[in-house]
Amino acid sequence: MEDFVTEWTARHGATRDRLLPLLHAVQAEAGHIDDALVPAIAKALNLSRADVHGVVTFYHDFRRAAPGRHVVKLCRAESCQARGGAAIERTAAQRLGVAMGETRGDGQVALEPVYCLGLCAIGPNALVDGRPVARIDAAALERIALEVAA
Partner 1 sequence: MRVFVSRDMASVALGADDVARAFVDAGCNVVRTGSRGLFSIEPLVEVETDEGRIGFGPVGPGDVAAILDGTHAARLGRVEALPFFASQQRFTFARCGITDPLSLADYAAHGGWQGLAAARAQSPQAVIDAVKASGLRGRGGAGFPTGIKWQTVLDAPGAEKYIVCNADEGDSGTFADRMLMEGDPFCLIEGMAIAAHAVGAGHGYIYIRSEYPYCITTMRAAIDASAHLVAPFVLEVREGAGAYVCGEETALLDSIEGKRGQVRAKPPLPALQGLFGQPTVINNVLSLAAVPFVLAQGADAYAAVGFGKSRGTMPVQLAGNVKHGGLYEIGFGITLGELVNDIGGGTASGRPVRAVQVGGPLGAYFPPSMFHLPFDYEAFTAAGGLIGHAGITLFDDSVDMAHMARFAMEFCAVESCGKCTPCRIGSTRGVEIMDRIIGARDAAPSGAGGAVGGYLDKALYSRSPARIDTSLDAQTALLRDLADTMKYGSLCALGGFTPYPVLSALDHFPEDFGASAPLKEAAE
Binding site for partner 1 (CB under 8 A): 15-21, 23-24, 45, 51, 54-55, 58-62, 77-83, 114-123, 125, 127, 130, 132-135
Judged by beta carbon, residue 77 or residue 145, the one nearer partner 1 is 77
CB of 76 to partner 1, least distance (A): 8
CA 70, chain centre distance (Å) = 10
CB of 129 to partner 1, least distance (A): 11
CB of 146 to partner 1, least distance (A): 17
What does the alpha-carbon distance between residue 52 and residue 34 come to, in Å, rounded to a whole number?
A: 12
CB of 106 to partner 1, least distance (A): 25
HSE-CB for 59 with a 13 A CA cutoff? 16
> Is 55:20 a contact under the CB 8 Å cutoff?
yes
Q: What share of the chain is helix, strand, coil (3-state, %, to 5)?
A: 50, 15, 35
> Is 92:72 a contact under the CB 8 Å cutoff?
yes
CA 26, chain centre distance (Å) = 13
Judged by beta carbon, residue 25 or residue 145, the one nearer partner 1 is 25
Judged by beta carbon, residue 59 or residue 106, the one nearer partner 1 is 59
Judged by beta carbon, residue 41 or residue 98, the one nearer partner 1 is 41
